[in-house]
Amino acid sequence: MAESSTETPVEETWYAPDVATFGDRLAGAREAAGLTQEDLAQRLGVRLTTLQAWEEDLAEPRGNRLQMLAGMLNVSLTWLITAEGPGLAAPDAAPAPLSPAAEQTLAELRKLRARASGLAEDLGRVEQRMRSLLREVA
């Protein structure tokens, strides 16, 4: 079927309110940010099941969490809620090619993110151990 000149491009309608839900936009932004559900839930300080309920449109986050989500996922709060404003392009939109220096910098960022995630897990384990020790003393 040929596309008529009056049709709106896919890039502009992919996350539109009549096409995608809040949960769809949240999941798409999370994936575009390279985060798993577990990663995002941990960063937000919520349970995994809470984040899953948001993405499945079974629940909605409160205002403070919405602001945190928008910031962490690099989308506007308005886009996250209404699909208007700065958000994500359609998944099929081809990204502009990056220079070798930019690719190298992205690789370095990925390594740093992995190290930071590992450190966060280590901190969590040490914190749990410390809490156990403090309970024993009390």
Could you read off the pLDDT of 72-92 as tens digits, one per residue? 998 988 888 888 877 776 555
Q: Is the pLDDT of residue 43 over 50?
A: yes
What six digits make up the tokens of 49?
């099941």
Q: Is the pLDDT of residue 137 over 90?
A: no
Distance CA 93, CA 74 (A): 17
Q: How many structural domains comprise the chain?
A: 2
Note down the domain range covering 103: 97-138
Q: Are 22 and 64 in a shared domain?
A: yes
% of the chain residues with pLDDT over 90 = 38
Q: How far is CA 137 from CA 131, 133, 134, in A?
A: 10, 6, 5
Q: Is the pLDDT of residue 36 over 70?
A: yes
25 in a domain, yes or no? yes
Count Cβ atoms below 10 Å from residue 25 Cβ, excluding itself.
25
Question: For position 95, what pLDDT does the model report?
Answer: 62
58 in a domain, yes or no? yes
Q: Are 24 and 54 in a shared domain?
A: yes
Q: Are 26 and 74 in a shared domain?
A: yes
CATH number of the domain to which 53 belongs: 1.10.260.40
> What integer is the mean pLDDT of 53-59?
93
Is residue 56 a contact partner of residue 68, using CB atoms and an 8 Å limit? no
Is residue 133 a contact partner of residue 125, using CB atoms and an 8 Å limit? no
Please indicate, yes or no, whether the overall pTM of this predicted structure exceeds 0.85.
no
